[in-house]
Structure 1
C-alpha cells in the first residue's frame, strides 16, 4: 500500500483553515517556522485519510503505511512524498524523531468507523495521540516543554466541530472549552504564541460557531494573542 506522491488540492473550507494556521506559524521564531508548518501538513495529511476513506480496512492500511513511513525516517532517506521530505528537512534536525511522530497514527485510528459510538475513551485517545504528540513535537522545535495537554485540548475542540451527533458534539465541545480555558489561563510565552494561537482559534470556533475560518474577528483575536499572550 502506498500513498500518492502529492496531496490533492484541499476543499475551500480546509484551505481557509490552512491559511489561518499559516498566520499562527508566523508568530513562531523564524528558525522553527518550516518545521512547525511541516508538522501541521502531517496532521492535515492524516486527517485527509479519514475524510477520503469510506472503508475502515482501507483507512487502516493507509494509516499503517504512514506509521511505518514515519518510523523509517530515522534510518532511511525520506521517500518521494512532499510531507515526508519536509519532515526530514525541517523537523528531524530539530530533535524530533520519526518514531516520536508515529503515535499520531494511533490517534487517527481511534476514529476509524467500526459502528460503535464515539465515546469519551476514544475521544481522549484521539486527542492525546493526535494533539498531544503534535503540540509536544512543535513545542520541542520551539524549545518549550509541557505542550501536550494544550494539544490534547486543541484536538478535542477540533473534533467537536466535526462530530455529527448533536449530543456528543455538545458534550465534547463543553469539555474542550473548559480544558482550553484552563490551559490558556496563564500568559503564553512569546516563543510559543503561534502554537497557543492555534488553541485560541479552536476555542473561538466553539464559542462563536458563526465565525468560520477566515472571519476577520478570528484574525484579530489571533493577532491580539500574538501581541499579548492572552
Structure 2
C-alpha cells in the first residue's frame, strides 16, 4: 500500500488502537486514487481507471476482494466498522473532479466535498464519532492539499482561501479524543495554509500536533 507523508502518518497514529489500522487503510485508498489522477495525462484514461475502482469497491459488499492489497485490506479492516464498499466507491467522484478540462470553482467545491468531506465522514464512522466539524475539517484538509499542488494561480488562491476558512471553523472548540487523529490532520493542513509556517515534520509542528492529541485543541 502507498505510504502517507510522515506528518499524516503521525496524525493517524493518534487514533485509538482498535481503529488505527482501519483508518490507515482508508487513507491508503485515498492515496491510491490520488496517484491515478497524478499519473494520468489523458482524462479519459483517468476516468476509466477511476470507474474500475468505483465498480470494484462496490463489489466488496458481495464478493471477495480481488488480488489487490488495498482492496483486500479494505474488505478485511474497514468494512467491519460499518463502511460499505459502495460508500468507498463514491470517493472516486472527488478525484474525478480534477480531471475536468477547466478546474473552476464548481470542480474545486466538488473535490472538497466528494474527496475530503466523504473521506473524513467515513473515518468518523470508523471511530464512532458524530460531529459536524469532522466533515468540514475534511473539506479544508483536501483543499489545503489541492492548493499546494495547483500551479494555476486563481484556482490555487481559491482553494487556499476556502481551506483556511473551513479549517478555522472546524478547529474551534475541543475535539473528542477518538477523533483527534482527524483533528491533527486538520491542524497539519492549517499549518500548510499559514504564510511562513514551519515545514512539515518540524519540531514546532510536531509539538502542536501532540498538544492537539493531549487536549483536543
Shorter-chain TM-score range: over 0.9
After superposition, the Cα gap between the structure-2 partners of 1:111 and 1:99, relative to the gap in structure 1 and judged at 3 Å, is same
2:80 match: 93
| Secondary structure, aligned partner of 1:79 | coil
1:151 match: 138
> How high is the TM-score relative to the length of structure 2?
0.94
Rounded to whole Å, the distance in 2 between the matches of 1:35 and 1:159 is 24
Which blocks of at least 5 consecutive residues in structure 2 are unaligned? none
User: Displacement, 1:138?
Assistant: 0.7
Rounded to whole Å, the distance in 2 between the matches of 1:148 and 1:75 is 28
Does the CA contact (< 8 Å) of 2:25 and 2:73 recur in 1? Answer: yes
Which of 81, 90, 104 is matched with 2:91 structurally? 104
Does the CA contact (< 8 Å) of 2:15 and 2:181 recur in 1? Answer: yes
**Alignment size in residue pairs:** 215
| Secondary structure, aligned partner of 2:173 | coil
- Does 2:111 align with 1:126? yes
Q: CA RMSD in A?
A: 1.5
Which of 33, 38, 42 is matched with 2:20 structurally? 33
Rounded to whole Å, the distance in 2 between the matches of 1:186 and 1:162 is 30
Residues 62-95 of structure 1: per-residue CA shift (max 9 Å, x gap): 1001001110100010111111111111100001
User: Displacement, 1:215?
Assistant: 2.4
User: Displacement, 1:170?
Assistant: 2.0
Which of 139, 142, 146 is matched with 2:124 structurally? 139
> How high is the TM-score relative to the length of structure 1?
0.88
User: Displacement, 1:44?
Assistant: 0.3
List structure 1 segments (4+ residues) > 3 angstroms apart after TM superposition: 208-212
Which blocks of at least 5 consecutive residues in structure 1 are unaligned? 1-6
Residues 83-137 of structure 1: per-residue CA shift (max 9 Å, x gap): 11111111000010011111110101100042x2x21111111111111111011
